[in-house]
Amino acid sequence: MSIIYCVSELKRPRRTQSERTRASREKILQAALEFFSRDGFRGAKLSEIAQAAGLTEPGLLHHFPSKNHLLMQVLDERDRVNQKRINDILSQEGSHVLDSLHALVKHNATVPGLVQLFTVLVAESLVPEHPAREFFVQRYQRTRSNLVEAIAKAQKAGEIRQDISAEVLGVLLFAVMDGLQVQWLLQPEQIDMPAAFGLFLELVRAK
């Protein structure tokens, strides 16, 4: 029995293959999220991600055929979670959209890593032929149109001033959220993101 065999025994607890596969992919995605957040797409290294997931680089590439594929998987997964949160917020009938958005921003202020992931990747994706560019275009498109719908409802319900275009307000709301994140990530201790966002909300709230 070789040394390699022994090591192997240590590293591979008895499991079914599908369990192993799922567990590995899980760990890889988690590690990728972390490094993409910290270093951006170009800056992150497959070898580091693989190591953090307890694999070698080719081991990682067995599950995700390329760095680009890995990025897209991470984004899809993360976006599903975010999207769910946002849709829950927007679809609550008769609820207070503005308050819910405020809650979202407060929540974001507790997860700088995730916020940085999207802030860095969105900006990186502005360069031509970036693998994630189309992803973000779609994402803004879709989310914004949901938001605009919710705004229109809230205007009818008397929550939001009616003298503002819902379309433009949708654009503005995302702009404020994105823009605040940049300043907050640069100087977390100096920028009170939820407070600033709250002030903006007061400006659009119906009196």
Partner DNA sequence: TACAACTTACCTAGTCAAAGATAGGTAAAA
Partner DNA sequence: TTTTACCTATCTTTGACTAGGTAAGTTGTA
Q: Which positions lie near DNA, rule CB under 7 A?
A: 2, 4-5, 8-9, 12, 14-18, 20-21, 24, 44-47, 54-59, 61-63, 65-68
CB of 118 to its own copies, least distance (A): 10
Closest by CA position to 183, among listed 125, 132, 112, 102: 112
**Do 57 and 46 meet the contact criterion of CB atoms below 8 Å apart?**
yes
Q: Which is nearer to its own copies, 47 or 92 (CB)?
A: 47
Tell me: does residue 199 bind its own copies (CB under 8 A).
yes
**Do 100 and 92 meet the contact criterion of CB atoms below 8 Å apart?**
yes
Helix, strand, coil % (nearest 5) of the chain? 75, 0, 25
Burial class (CB in 10 A: 0-12, 13-18, 19+), 50: buried
Q: Which is nearer to DNA, 63 or 148 (CB)?
A: 63
3-state secondary structure of 157: coil
Q: Which is nearer to DNA, 34 or 159 (CB)?
A: 34
Binder of residue 87, out of DNA, its own copies, none (CB less than 5 to 8 A by kind): none
CB of 68 to its own copies, least distance (A): 15
Task: For residue 51, give Cα distances in angstroms to 31, 54, 58, 77, 82.
Answer: 9, 5, 11, 21, 27
Binder of residue 158, out of DNA, its own copies, none (CB less than 5 to 8 A by kind): none
Interacting residue ranges for its own copies, rule: CB under 8 A: 38-40, 42-43, 116, 119-120, 122-128, 133, 136-137, 140-141, 164-165, 168-169, 171-172, 174-180, 182-183, 185-187, 191-192, 195-196, 199-200, 203-204
